[in-house]
Chains A and B, each alone.
Chain A
Amino acid sequence: MNQETHPSLVNPLILKNQIGEDLSETEEIYKENIIDHYKHPHNKGEIEHTTSHRELNTSCGDELTIYLNINNNIIENISFTGHGCAISQASVSMLTDKLKGMSVEQAQQISQEDILNLLGIPISYVRMKCALLSLKTVQGALC
């Protein structure tokens, strides 16, 4: 995902490259650690916070709120509430782990690519929004 298209537009090039993946890749998507994070998400539940932000994934109906407790520019604690598919839940579970203890500036540097690396699985175009909802919500809270 190097090219960033307008978020509301489907980029036909990316979509074209992703149609017709074979069976082996599905099983890969639902790797054990993804399922683990989905079933036992880290950092779930509202915490005492200095800021929070809510985002919706309108096409899926997924919903995510991120709570951040920031002191002296450091993310001392972070958590989330909401619901979504395995990909979106694993993504936010992993991202909140990663952000804990970071400075706000460091957190703002996190890219879409970083999220995909965290997940470590092939993400099809239609699931990109699920994978990146976590980042979008964090960015919303930090801006």
Chain B
Amino acid sequence: MKGDFPILKGITYLDSAATTQKPIHVIDAISHYYKTSNANVHRGLYTLSQKATLAFEDARATVATFINTTPEHIVFTKGTTESLNLLASSLNLQEGDEIVLTEMEHHANLVPWQQTKATLKFIPLKDDYHLDLEAAKELITDKTKIVAVTHISNVLGTINDIETLTQLAHSKGAKIVVDAAQSIAHLTIDIKDIDFLAFSGHKMCGPTGIGILYGKDFSNLKPYQFGGDMIKEVTYETSTFQEAPYKFEAGTPNIAGAIGLAAAITYLETATHPHITEYALEKLQSIEGLKIIGPQINRAPVFSFTLEGIHPHDVAEILSKHNICVRAGHHCAMPLMKKLNIHGTTRASFYIYNTKEDVDTLVEGIKKVQEVFK
């Protein structure tokens, strides 16, 4: 499988939680689109524009099928962050409303909600790095309008129990919003009862600059940006808007991005997921002085760790010199770092193209880091 990814030569890429590499199929699909079909969508009457429109709408259909829904529920955005911002600004939240988040949210699923008039509450983490669902029962009340949770933590690797949280939310008449930025890469997502779901193309073999907002029912949401493509009728004084998903897609969209994302989905449907989570966890934990910041079970291959006496930046820099790409820092989750009383972690995240050998290379690399600081 590594052979499908031109960039993965001579490096051990372990930062797929930040962004994944792209298979040649995706790169070719984007290039093919620009070579053969580039035109603006929904506008021209000439064949080329129809070709582009068809490819763009086909891409929407591919995404819809991928998460087991239909195209009118799929809005193209530039990524998870924009999808969540769209929700936070369009859901019309009022003073006195409550939003229940978790203590492990990425800034993208926290900061946009802070900008609303609603009050925020947080489902706490337990010592095993899973959510305290008993506490969640108390926190989700009749005042709760939104329960917004990450499906998989980009720091801890924890897989959250979305089904239970959805039930809790619905039992109080609240909507569930799922940040699937990480889970889209590791789990099969069946949208079922979920009200809103956000993810990014670039974390699943697709290009950057394209993302998805799924909505079960968009009818109560106001448009988020205004301009071309999203209108029905415009006079100098006023305008009426299209239905979803188009009312949320103002301006020329990322056409090549949508096509690249569809190509990524087609590619992923044939790809196999290597099972290295347990192997990696065991190997990493056998290193003296290494502490995994995350759960032992119900987890994805996203491993944050600390090394005794060595700052994460130094770990990442030395690993980099051995061509191992890992991330160091707070991973866009500053409140979580504070809560865990750490200043940052080193994070190694694995994806479909990684192998057990990559785990071994990492373990060797970490030992070299420890050697430097001995």
A residues near B (Cβ < 8 Å) are 23, 25-27, 29-30, 35, 38-39, 59-63, 83-87, 89, 124, 127, 130
Contact = CB atoms under 8 A, between A and B. Distances in A.
A30 B315 CA distance: 11
A62 B337 CA distance: 12
Contact of A26 (B318, B329, B330): B318
Contacts of B311: 83-86, 89
Contacts of B343: 61-63, 83
A28 B310 CA distance: 17
Contact of A23 (B310, B312, B314, B321): B321
B309 A85 contact: no
A91 to B, nearest CB: 13
A30 B372 contact: yes
22 contacts: A23-B321, A25-B321, A26-B317, A26-B320, A26-B321, A27-B372, A30-B318, A35-B373, A38-B373, A39-B373, A59-B329, A60-B313, A60-B329, A60-B344, A61-B334, A61-B337, A61-B343, A61-B344, A62-B343, A89-B311, A127-B317, A130-B313
Contacts of B321: 23, 25-27
A143 to B, nearest CB: 27
In the complex, which of the residues A25, A26, A130 has the most CB atoms of chain B within 10 Å of its own CB atom?
Answer: A26
Contacts of B337: 61
Contacts of B317: 26, 29, 124, 127
Contacts of B312: 85
A84 B344 CA distance: 10
Contacts of A60: 313, 329, 344
Nearest to A23: B321
A30 B334 contact: no
Interface string B332-350: 0010010000011000000
Contacts of A62: 343
Contacts of B373: 30, 35, 38-39, 86
Q: Which 6 A-B pairs have the closest CB atoms?
A: A26-B321, A85-B311, A85-B313, A61-B330, A30-B372, A86-B314
A23 B330 CA distance: 26
B194 to A, nearest CB: 33
